[in-house]
Structure 1
Amino acid sequence: MITAAQLRAARALLGIDQRQLAELSDLSVPTIQRMEASEGTIRGNVDSLVKLIDALGAAGVEVINEGAVSSGGGRGVRLKAGSSSPKVRT
């Protein structure tokens, strides 16, 4: 679904810290820290993962799963088309 590296990259694209991501996703800071410290694919309860993916999507980041169409192939993150500036509360 999403890897720890993708999560860190998404947060970097948005220019936000773990606290801000926790607020956007309605998760705790320790949960975000645990997710980012994971090896490979993030494991957790489905509700938390959905909240995380939804928050990233609402902020303008598209999570690219393996095998999904992308110019470079493989996993990654990218800003959604038309998202010239991330929509993030500060």
Structure 2
Amino acid sequence: MKKDITPAQLRAARGLVDWTREQLADAAGTTVRTLARLERGETAPRLSTLCAIRSAFESVGVVFIPENGGGVGVRLKK
């Protein structure tokens, strides 16, 4: 699914924009507990939660890089 974000991408994206879990939870309209579980890979997110997280990150310039032979990743827009 195009909307998938791996736990590592989630952690890396937070690091790129220097967000705490609390800040991401506020931006995405979810809970800190949910984010912690997602970052540890303990649960699969609902599509609505995943879309909200992706939108929050994309609004501040994060780009999610899909598997392209070199592995998944994240970067900031120029």
1-structure distance, mates of 2:13, 2:50: 14
Letter of the structure 1 residue corresponding to residue 73 of structure 2: G
Task: Tell me the amino acid that sits aligned with residue 77 of structure 2.
Answer: K
Gaps of 5+ in 2: none
**Higher helix proportion:** 2
- Matches for 1:1-90 after TM superposition, within 5 Å: 1-38=4-41, 43-67=44-68, 73-81=70-78
| Aligned AA (1:11) | R
The Cα RMSD (Å) is 1.6
Runs of 4+ in 1 over 6 A off after TM superposition: none
> How many pairs were matched up?
75
Stretches of structure 1 that go unaligned for 5 or more consecutive residues are: 82-90
Query: TM-score if structure 2 supplies the norm length?
Result: 0.87
Q: TM-score, normalised by structure 1?
A: 0.76
